[in-house]
Amino acid sequence: MNTTINDTPNELRIICCDLPAPPLFWKDDRGYRHGYESDLGRLLASTLGIPYSFAYQSWADFYPALQAGKGEIVLCGQGISDYRKTLADFTEPYAVFDEAVMVLRGSNVRSPADLVGKRVGAIANSLNMALAETFTGCICVPFGGDSDDVLGDMVQALRDGNIDAFVDDDVALVPLTEETDLAIGFSVPTQNRWGIAVKKDNGELLARVDQALATVKANGQLEQIWRKWMPSLVYPFRND
């Protein structure tokens, strides 16, 4: 077990995906991990006074890996949902995002009413899928997280005509609009709260990570990395 005698970790092993999802995370040619979540992981480890490493897992393996002790936290696009709270405990949010529906450029999808009879993809058991399930008359298509690149899988399915649209948080989709064939059909102001997952019944570690997060909110460091990577999005914690 990667802890000292008083349950303080010797290292903060951050369970996450090894795939490109700017501005949240991606690697350069030298293997260095960039992005908002990457910098947040480093910032938390520094605040806790311990080294860090990235423990790469497929999306579907995040919580089994956490349960098996292959990492101390999951920091990788985890909206805090009732379902996920059955798998782990969560810190206070480190991000708040709306959701959006991605379509092929030229699509006439501009609202939920335009999705009647359409095949709409989302990651299984995610807040994005929960939103898709509210679109009356659409056909929800779940994508498993056992892929090396589930976002890429949804993009390819859209391009191949296997789905007509897919749902994800706006922060992940805005960069994709730079592709010539992709566009955001519409956005939904869901204000999804993203949190850091800690293994259940590890209240001491949860409290330490939560305190570190509160510290970087209070001293302005979290806002600094938010504005570095996502300057077009409103920082959500100005009054915390």
User: CB count, 10 Å around CB of 135?
Assistant: 21
67 and 34 both lie in a single domain: yes
First to last CA, the chain: 34
Look at residue 126 and tell me if it is in a domain. Answer: yes
Look at residue 237 and tell me if it is in a domain. Answer: no
Q: Is residue 57 classed exposed, middle or buried when 0-12, 13-18 and 19+ CB atoms within 10 A define those classes? A: buried
75 and 142 both lie in a single domain: no
What is the count of structural domains for the chain?
2
pLDDT in tens, 74-107: 999 999 999 999 999 999 999 999 999 999 999 9
- Average pLDDT (26-31) is 94
159 and 147 both lie in a single domain: yes
pLDDT in tens, 190-216: 999 999 999 999 999 999 999 999 999
Q: What pLDDT sits at residue 100?
A: 97
Look at residue 3 and tell me if it is in a domain. Answer: no
Q: How far apart are CA 195 and CA 79, in angstroms?
A: 6
Look at residue 186 and tell me if it is in a domain. Answer: yes
Q: How far apart are CA 6 and CA 28, in angstroms?
A: 37
Look at residue 2 and tell me if it is in a domain. Answer: no
CA 169 to each of CA 127, 174, 188: distance values in angstroms, whole numbers, following the listed order: 9, 9, 9
Mean pLDDT of the chain: 94
Q: How far apart are CA 130 and CA 100, in angstroms?
A: 13
Q: Which domain holds residue 109?
A: 96-191
